Amino acid sequence: MKILLTVHQFFPQFSAGTEILTYAVARELINRGHEVRILTGAPANQPLSDANRCDDYTFEGIQIYRFHHAYTAMGDQTSMLEIDYDNHLAAQYFRQIIDNFHPDIVHFFHFHRLGTGLIDQAVQAGIPAFMTPTDFWAICNTAQLLLCNGKMCSGPSAYAGNCVKHFAQNKRNGLVGKVMQYLPTPLVDGLVYLTQQGVMPNYPNRQEVLAASNRLHINIARLNQLKRIISPTSLVTELLINYGIAPECIIQSAFGIDVTGMSSLRSPPRQPLRIGFIGTLVSHKGVHILIEAFKALPPNVAILNIYGSPENFPDYANGLTQLADNHSGITFCGTFPNAAIADIFADLDVLVVPSLWYENTPLVLYSAQAARCPVVASNFAGLSDVIGHEDNGLLFTAGDTTALTTQLSRLINEPQLLEQLSHHARQPKSTSTYVDELIGVWNS
């Protein structure tokens, strides 16, 4: 088969979970004799004309089509919010790819800055289209269901009034941003509704308000055109159904990972305890919570290795360095090739996932389980779907540094607990099995 995959960003510049999943699926399909190409988005590092937004390159033998985006007007669009979820220029480029490549299947892994208009193009071309949502982007503009104050959000309100508040607080300084946080969401919903009806006089950012209010309706209508959505967790499934996705369109299936080299044998507990974090160094991943909790441990009982690139979010990464304050037990290790992940886990006693958002079962969680490395994680759905407290890991209240310190102290003081959690690791699905499932869905 000829298969076209899409993702919001890709190797070699980006290597987070969604990119790793997309790459692993592509590689497995190629190994089975299928022809695979990938469309990815990429942030533009310099101003570009519309004619120069598209190019292509090869990554490990895979042809990659690339659309360079930016928070700027492009094509016939000027709304920054609309360009994120309904990018006309990206849709035109996608149609050109379809017409040239003639794929048998299109499978979407992410739409950020490419837009769900890609679905329309696939449907119009008569190509069966499928999707694996790796976060909450289809429902939430931030993809994380997080409010400006870091608290969890339950999703868009009736007319996306809470989304408008979020946008205003993020994009506007001064009085408007400050006042907006105090306006009740039902009141903002009412103002949005009146704007939709054309009752409100013209005002600054009216176009963005309309884009925010239209986003959910447009995305849901398009997602319902897909042949199937392969949802990784019950949380994602429930969210999609609650916001209008037809239940019969959804199949629930956990991600698969490359388990090559993962050893089922663990070393006995060691002193000092070797704690690890692996992931993007960004605030919602909660690395600062882990550093604070680690610093509260007694001296010399543990070491902390933090794996992640300082370049993607430099301000936050610099803040983490300052927070660590040259602590002798904390090492910022940078990144590593995904092929080396088995070696990384062989050198860890416990992985900490201190996320401050719901997550969507990060792949590193499955890798830890494959390596029988116990996990200490925030008690969120998505994470707790995989990690059972005092079974194959430990859970703590998200954002609570004292609670995290307590759980880490247990592993230091109760070495038999570490062995018990390792013994109960739940072996994850392999990439090969996951691709078997995808092909089965496509063929059905």
3-state secondary structure the chain: CEEEEEECCCCCCCCCHHHHHHHHHHHHHHHCCCEEEEEEEEECCCCCCHHHCEEEEEECCEEEEEEEECCCCECCECCHHHHHHCCHHHHHHHHHHHHHHCCCEEEECCCCCCCCHHHHHHHHCCCCEEECCCCCCCCCCCCCCECCCCCECCCCCCCCHHHHHHHHHHHCCCHHHHHHCCCCHHHHHHHHHHHHCCCCCCCCCHHHHHHHHHHHHHHHHHHCCCCEEEECCHHHHHHHHHCCCCHHHEEECCCCECCCCCCCCCCCCCCCEEEEEECCCCHHHCHHHHHHHHHCCCCCCEEEEEECCCCCCHHHHHHHHHHHCCCCCEEEEECCCHHHHHHHHHCCCEEEECCCCCCCCCHHHHHHHHCCCCEEEECCCCCCCCCCECCCEEEECCCCHHHHHHHHHHHHHCHHHHHHHHHCCCCCCEHHHHHHHHHHHHHC
The confidence score (pLDDT) of residue 180 equals: 76
Whether the CB-CB separation of 357 and 284 falls below 8 Å is answered with yes
336 phi-psi bin (left φ>0, alpha ψ -120 to 50, beta other): beta
CA proximity to 304, closest of 340, 268, 275: 275
Domain ranges of the chain: 2-142+215-256+432-443, 157-179+187-199, 273-423
Alpha-carbon gap, residue 117 to 115, rounded angstroms: 5
Alpha-carbon gap, residue 125 to 430, rounded angstroms: 33
Q: Does domain 2-142+215-256+432-443 have CATH number 3.40.50.2000?
A: yes
The confidence score (pLDDT) of residue 261 equals: 76
Q: Please state the pTM of the whole predicted model.
A: 0.90
Same fold, 2-142+215-256+432-443 and 273-423: yes
**pLDDT in single tens digits along all 444 residues of the chain:** 999 999 999 999 998 889 999 999 999 999 999 999 999 999 988 889 999 999 999 999 999 999 999 889 999 999 999 999 999 999 999 999 999 999 999 999 999 999 999 999 999 999 999 999 999 999 999 888 888 777 888 899 999 999 998 888 776 555 666 677 788 999 999 999 999 999 999 988 899 999 999 999 999 999 999 999 999 999 999 999 999 999 999 999 999 998 877 766 677 777 899 999 999 999 999 999 999 999 999 999 999 999 999 998 999 999 999 999 999 999 999 999 888 999 999 999 999 999 998 887 789 999 999 999 999 999 998 899 899 999 999 999 999 999 999 999 999 999 899 999 999 999 999 999 999 999 999 999
The confidence score (pLDDT) of residue 108 equals: 98
Structure tokens at 21: 């999943």
Alpha-carbon gap, residue 351 to 274, rounded angstroms: 9
Q: Which residue has the tokens 């995904």?
A: 338
Whether the CB-CB separation of 147 and 165 falls below 8 Å is answered with no
Q: Does domain 273-423 have CATH number 3.40.50.2000?
A: yes
The confidence score (pLDDT) of residue 174 equals: 56
Query: At 406, which amino acid appears?
Result: T
Who's near 158: CB < 8 A, 6+ residues apart? 186, 189
The confidence score (pLDDT) of residue 177 equals: 64
